[in-house]
Homo-oligomer: A and B are copies of this chain.
Amino acid sequence: MSGNTFGLLFTVTSFGESHGPGIGCVIDGCPPGLEITAEDIQQDLDRRKPGTSRHVTQRKEPDQVEILSGVFEGKTTGTPIALLIRNTDQRSQDYSKIMQTFRPGHADYSWWHKYGIRDYRGGGRSSARETAVRVAAGAVAKKWLAEKFGITIRGYMSQLGSVQIPFVSWDEVGNNPFFAPNAEIVPTLESYMDEIRAARDSIGARIDVVAEGVPVGWGEPVFDRLDADIAYAMMGINAVKGVEVGAGFASIAQKGSEHCDELTPTGFATNHAGGVLGGVSTGQDIRVSIAIKPTSSIPQDRNSIDLNGNAVMMQTTGRHDPCVGIRATPIAEAMLALVLIDHALRHRGQNADVKVTTPRIPGARR
């Protein structure tokens, strides 16, 4: 495949350009009998949508999803679920000037050489707008995981530029535009972002995602490890430059006596592993952290070249997020959900007969 399908058993095939007729996807492999409505999906789309605060792009995209197939009388039928989001707030003229040049930090140059043709309007297929589709598909996956296994998948911003955001409570995450789990720090974040915007610049962020309630035994042992598939899913989100599971890069300086999580009859003592050992879930929380680079589109003069290879100076105007990380939390949650549902189905297929009498022990949260 040419890289627009995600998953093996629960597959999401994405399509659409930023300024074409619309974006959408086909979900194949969703088990039958799941109650799902457009409203269920819309909820997560609304968490990601632009225009909700001054810290994000001011585009107005209602991102209304239509279910084209696969749902009958409110339930999935086991056949493909096609979702369509028509594009509305398009200002294609904003982009005509970039037709002849390559925006630095964007896909323009590499895609041009790959395909020899591009829909330059708003980045076309390379626009982060495509991630709305992943959020929509992830909403279906999340609902199934919650109903069948009681799994909760939640994310939050843990760092904005140089500002660390200590975790206080999940309850705060929905109360601010940053997905920060900490009410006190919100004013700091707001003024930090105001400065960035005033400087006509952009900034990176770190997002943490946690899946609680994942049973022991999901994941494949060698190549399709649960953590490898998570890394693939996360690094595939626009602007992500790094992925950690559990202790992540901190494990470099850890000793074995510190890192390796002891087991006791009442549970794991720690969770440095982040819920995955040998590629397979342990029953602990799955803990993932991702690094998101600063937005490449900034209204400053930048050196670039044009289609003929000549030097140009360009600014990327248009309406852009000064920190793409701000709207990334629902996307990261969605991708984790897509990985988990796929492995749930794979595990059920292969290991349906396995009987183990060893007790399953609970996990440490951290």
Check A329 for interface membership: any CB of B closer than 8 A. no
The residue on B at minimum CB distance from A297 is B256
Q: Which residues of B contact A69 (CB under 8 A)?
A: 15-17, 20-23, 125
For the complex, give the distance between the alpha carbons of A289 and B51 in Å. Answer: 36
Check A13 for interface membership: any CB of B closer than 8 A. yes
Q: Which of A56-64, A178-186, A300-308 binds B? A: A300-308
Q: Which residues of B contact A348 (CB under 8 A)?
A: 348-349, 352
Q: How far is the CB of A164 from chain B (nearest CB, A)?
A: 10
Q: Which residues of B contact A242 (CB under 8 A)?
A: 242-245, 248-249, 251
Q: Which residues of B contact A356 (CB under 8 A)?
A: 112-113, 116
B253, B264, B353: the one contacting A31 at CB < 8 Å is B353
Q: Which of A42-50, A74-82, A167-175 binds B? A: A74-82
Q: How far is the CB of A275 from chain B (nearest CB, A)?
A: 9
Check A190 for interface membership: any CB of B closer than 8 A. no
**Contact flag A3-B279 (CB < 8 Å), given A221-B125, A251-B293:** yes
For the complex, give the distance between the alpha carbons of A111 and B347 in Å. Answer: 12
**Contact flag A303-B114 (CB < 8 Å), given A31-B353, A252-B292, A263-B109:** no
Q: How far is the CB of A327 from chain B (nearest CB, A)?
A: 16
**Contact flag A126-B350 (CB < 8 Å), given A78-B115, A261-B105, A282-B109:** no
Check A294 for interface membership: any CB of B closer than 8 A. yes
14 A-B pairs in the complex with CB atoms less than 8 angstroms apart? A1-B29, A3-B221, A4-B220, A5-B5, A5-B11, A9-B349, A13-B80, A33-B354, A79-B119, A105-B259, A254-B294, A260-B296, A264-B311, A345-B349
